[in-house]
Structure 1
């Protein structure tokens, strides 16, 4: 994108709506996305940081007056600078606390949507992190009213936020203070942690309790809601007022070297630490699914309903699985038309080509499918593929039959003309007829690319001439009764031998198809079980990271003698460990095999399904 577009815009009636131009852009992005959103008070330089992250001088409107420039949430997409195959989505938001707007609800909605859509949230403020700066971040305390983790009432919703919320980066601008604490130098992160330090009651008076509650309220939310915290402190870019008012046109050499270096460190950190956006802990969000997320969350919040993550995940699942079925089955159809020249010489050839295309399509489906726990969409996918495959096989047979019938018609033209003229009803006519049939058969066999119906079509041709052959033989006075009897016996033997070969060929083709189906079923089990295993491994890793963060908070509270708060975090750690053990459990394996077996039985013969399950599912149960 060479320019930002508005993703979420304000409407005349005070609501929010998603801009269709932006969702159309996102819908064309099939790569996983890293989403970085910046929020903060208006006129604090948010857009400048977004432009630096985009690697360009201009883009998001910086403005140079006291009037806020950005309205709603604006988006810019670009290839990720350090992650190949990923897209970086930057969201620049309307400044909070705009006196012209005078709508606190609007600010809260902006903040909540930024949290819900991003994988890294940058909070931008000025000068210091003091009591006033923390108070201005009151939106974190209002999120519980607008964001729910589960559809049913759940007292632990807020405790689960850190598993779903982005990393939190506090960018402090125009800093003039020295980074010291108790006379000793401290890092930016230590400065943030000190600023977020909780107080405990000095005494049990109501005044003391209220004072401590006010101090701790938003600090506690910041600690609880975000999985990790980082602080960047920026010097004033320059002392030149004209340069400050023209930041989108000045070069780095016109700015403070310290500020330029700090900005670079900030960008490098975001590039390396902001992870891919996930839903339900394990499913990577693409541009297409981000468009769906933005629409669903915006509609929920703008209608004054709480945005429920569980409901959104469920809706995303349906949308993603529907798209997975469509994309994968279309891929199979397209690839078959590209790879197969009809008719194929043998059944085995089209089976092998189909198997290649099916494996490609299955990888696409499994990669994109999401929370298809009951295998409904997998069953739908299998049904469509089997139908398309059947149509291709029928088409292959039809092309073969048409070609072979035309070939027979061409090769037997002289024979048909002679029959119409009665040329074989004479002495020695039977021998002439046999020789002509043998000539036709010999030429027919030499012709290449007759396809799967070659033998069947020729046998039908021979059968159509059986009665004529008998008539010609009976009228041939050159043959004795004994010779006629020998010819009849010979013809019957050939007929029986041909029937035996046809039955043998039919059994061979049935076994070929059965073996093909078994391999495809095995591929289904392999793909689904490996994806499930990888997702559970990823879930464990993410839960371990959450556990570490919660352990850090628990230890901090304990060090301050706040055992009640520490115990709350310990309970969250226990719940996280329980989820990790559940992810490690092997009990999910049989459930997957059982569900997939039931789905496959709808379209595949039982022997193929059970063989596929036995080879990959049961014998390699995880």
Structure 2
């Protein structure tokens, strides 16, 4: 997806009730790639749109504006292929400027701020001048985030710590800076400049200082991953400043151009893919769902609950996973199988390949499938479709073979009508013609799975006629007729035994196919769950390290109470990490699968042993 121009994603009409733009959602619904979502927020007329245009690589796109009026209303998006990540889409979100004097609605500003946080994987805060008390005061929204965003529906004593796990990386861009980055006479980095500005004030415990520290504390708590960029003035020419979308880079400050490039390169390299629930990659389709749900939640109840949104999205995704996987199986089977496979085993092998690919599609799309409810639905529907294809395959083969043997037996049928075999020696002639017909039928290729059954049915249909011809053949003695009767009876028994053996073989092949299905579903589900647990472990490890850095920072600053709070959070996270690394989840998954198998394949008594055997591999 490569949009030619930005489009409004979330509209902010004068009524103040946000609504999503259906056209933008339709565009996002077509993006099945993972998305990196970069949102920019800041006071109006601070150059946010210029930076977003540069990230796109365009001179113009998002409306820059050239007056004191705020231009961007609501949240606008611009999607294009990620410059450095193959098969990923970069989504830029430019937000309405905060603090618009014409609007004068701080609650509306707060809601825009929260929507940008909820939708992004990289959150850019854009400000001018320096990071001082005034600049941090303008970020007061951070301290009020927990009023609009909840992780879980029920009350959570550690809501702040929970929110920090789900929030995007935080990038503070300071524009038009005039200060030298120095601290106590020593040159410092941009990141050190930010961290120093976020230090809590050590002084009398007055209300003013508590308020000052509270905002800094919230920024550090909610945005544990932080980065800072400073920008020089782009130009000293006021006319150029008002026409930044028309001015060439050669007319701007070279340092500013280089700083802009450094910022863009960092976003391309470091901005992470958007996730929900720590492990689920967000596609454009899911991003559209998130925009819908979060917008509706904030517009209606004023509170966006992440857990509720994840449950709703997972249910929709899991239904789509079943639908897409079954559709794939059905389409692939129609392409691969022309419903005339030579043997049942050949058909089963083709079906198994299609089924395994469909299973991969299901597991790729599905997430939070508690108790494997949707995997059960997938397996049931696959079995239903497979059964339909079995029948279609057999019916097609039967129709073909019946028509084939009808045409090949036309000479025989005419001879019977003309009484050719009702003469002395006619029985021997009848047997020879039947043998020639059967040999010709057997030499015909690609008859399908019902070839033997149709031949045996044809033989049976001519059995009585053959006996009548034999009994009326005067060249045969009574003894010879008796021997021929015994021979026909023996051939009949052999024919019956052959059909029974074939049915038994087919039953065993289908049983083997069921066992393979159980093995493949168990193996792939355990592998997926194991990979997700590893991702969760990596996420928790990263969060713990970030919490430890904050804890040490508070210790060094003498804020022991804050350090103890972080210590408690770290202990909780380490406990959760221990549970994630524990293999206690394996028997739970195995038990759920055994329940599904008992419903689908009650005849397979060893199903539990099969699943348990595979599950044990994940304990080692």
Q: TM-score, normalised by structure 2?
A: 0.97
Tell me if structure 2 keeps the 8 A contact 1:522–1:617: no
Match of 2:257 in 1: 260
Matches within 5 A, 1:104-119: 104-119=106-121
- 1:304 CA displacement: 3.1
* 1:253 CA displacement: 1.6
| 1:168-222 CA distance string (max 9 Å, x none) | 00000011111111222111111111111102342xxxxx420221211110100
* Alpha-carbon distance in structure 1 between the residues aligned to 2:590 and 2:247: 62
Provide the rounded CA distance (Å) in 2 between the counterparts of 1:79 and 1:290: 16
Pairing partner for 1:367 from 330, 355, 364? 364
Tell me the distance in 1 between the aligned counterparts of 2:591 and 2:549: 41
Q: CA deviation at 1:567?
A: 0.4
Corresponding residue for residue 104 of structure 2: 102
Report the Cα distance in structure 2 between the residues aligned to 1:261 and 1:12, rounded to whole angstroms: 39
| Cα displacement (A) at 1:549 | 1.1
- Structure-1 separation of matches of 2:434 and 2:53: 82
Q: Does the 8 A contact of 2:10 with 2:18 survive in 1?
A: yes
Aligned to 2:297: 300
Counterpart for residue 355 of structure 2: 358
- Corresponding position of 2:170: 168
The structural deviation recorded for 1:621 is 4.0
1:428 aligns with 2:430: no
User: CA offsets, 1:548-606, max 9 Å, x none?
Assistant: 11111111111121111100000110111111111100111111111112123322342
Residue aligned with 1:243, SS: helix
Does the 8 Å contact 1:382/1:600 carry over to 2? no
Q: How does 1:233-382 map to 2 (within 5 A)?
A: 233-382=230-379
What pairs up with 1:431-442 in 2 under 5 angstroms? 431-442=428-439
Give the unaligned 5+ runs of structure 2.
none
Separation in 2 of the partners of 1:100 and 1:283?
40
C-alpha offsets along residues 70-129 of structure 1, whole Å, 9 cap, x if unaligned?
A: 000000111111111111111000000001111111101100000001011000000001
Q: Does the CA-based 8 Å contact 1:515-1:608 persist in structure 2?
A: no
| Equivalent of 1:447 in 444, 448, 451 | 444
Query: Are residue 536 (structure 1) and residue 565 (structure 2) matched?
Result: no
Alignment of 1:77-226 (within 5 A): 77-202=79-204, 208-226=205-223
By how many angstroms is 1:520 displaced? 2.1
Aligned-partner Cα distance in 2 for 1:425–1:200: 120
Q: What SS does structure 1 have at the residue aligned with 2:332?
A: helix
Q: Does 1:460 align with 2:457?
A: yes
**Closer, same or farther in 2 for the Cα pair 1:290/1:447, shift >3 Å?**
same
The separation in 2 between residues aligned to 1:272 and 1:602, in whole angstroms, is 49
Contact 1:554-1:566 within 8 A present in 2 as well: yes
Structure 1 position 620, deviation (Å): 4.4
Q: Distance in 1 between matches of 2:613 and 2:406?
A: 48
Which residue of structure 1 aligns with residue 28 of structure 2? Answer: 26
SS for the counterpart of 1:90 is: strand
Report if aligned partners of 2:537, 2:577 keep a CA contact under 8 Å in 1: yes
User: 1:205 maps to which residue?
Assistant: none
Q: CA deviation at 1:139?
A: 0.8
Q: Where does residue 398 of structure 1 map in the other structure?
A: 395
Contact 2:586-2:618 within 8 A present in 1 as well: no
Q: Distance in 1 between matches of 2:161 and 2:203?
A: 23
- After TM superposition, the structure 1 stretch with the greater mean CA deviation from structure 2, 31-40 or 298-307, is 298-307
Q: How many residues align?
A: 617
Q: Post-superposition shift, 1:426?
A: 2.6
Deviations 1:286-309 (A, max 9, x none): 111111111000000011331001
Query: Aligned pair 1:520/2:517, yes or no?
Result: yes
Give the CA RMSD over aligned residues. Answer: 1.3
2:60 equivalent to 1:62: no
> Counterparts of 1:334 and 1:136 in 2: how far apart (Å)?
56
CA shift, 1:490, in A, is 0.8
Question: How far does the alpha carbon of each residue in 1:289-346 deviate from its partner, in whole angstroms, 9 at most, with x for none?
Answer: 1111110000000113310011111001101101111111111111111112221111
For residues 412 and 556 of structure 1, the distance between their equivalents in structure 2, rounded to whole angstroms, comes to: 94
Do 2:590 and 2:612's aligned partners in 1 also have CA atoms closer than 8 Å?
Answer: no
Partner of 1:616: 614
Structure 1: state its 5+ residue gaps.
203-207
Deviates most, 112-121 or 428-437: 428-437
Contact 2:583/2:618 (<8 A) preserved: no
Q: Counterpart of 1:548?
A: 545
Q: How far apart in 2 are the matches of 1:544 and 1:153? A: 25
CA distance in 2, matches of 1:500, 1:225: 75
Whole-Å separation in 2 of the counterparts to 1:608 and 1:237? 73
Counterpart mapping for 1:461-540 below 5 A: 461-540=458-537
Q: Give me the whole-angstrom Cα distance separating, in 1, the residues matched to 2:461 and 2:125.
A: 86
Q: What is the TM-score of this pair, normalised by structure 1?
A: 0.97
User: Residues 50-74 of structure 1, C-alpha deviation per residue, up to 9 Å, x if partnerless?
Assistant: 1111111111111111111100000
State the distance in 2 between where 1:249 and 1:339 align. 57
- 8 Å contact kept, 2:405–2:441: yes
Deviation at 1:271, TM superposition (A): 1.2
Q: Secondary structure at the match of 2:371?
A: coil
Distance in 2 separating the partners of 1:109 and 1:211? 26
Q: Name the SS for the 2:41 alignment partner.
A: strand
Alpha-carbon separation, structure 2, partners of 1:200 and 1:175 = 26
Q: Does 1:606 align with 2:604?
A: yes
Output one character per residue of 1:115-168: Cα deviation in whole Å (capped at 9) or x when no partner.
Answer: 001011000000001000000111111111110001111121112111100000
Once the two structures are TM-superposed, the CA of residue 614 in structure 1 deviates from its matched residue by: 4.5
Runs of 4+ in 1 over 6 A off after TM superposition: none
**Is the contact made by 1:590 and 1:621 (CA closer than 8 Å) also made in structure 2?**
no
Distance 1:611 1:293 in 2: 42
Per the TM alignment, residue 227 of structure 1 is displaced from its structure 2 partner at its CA by 2.4
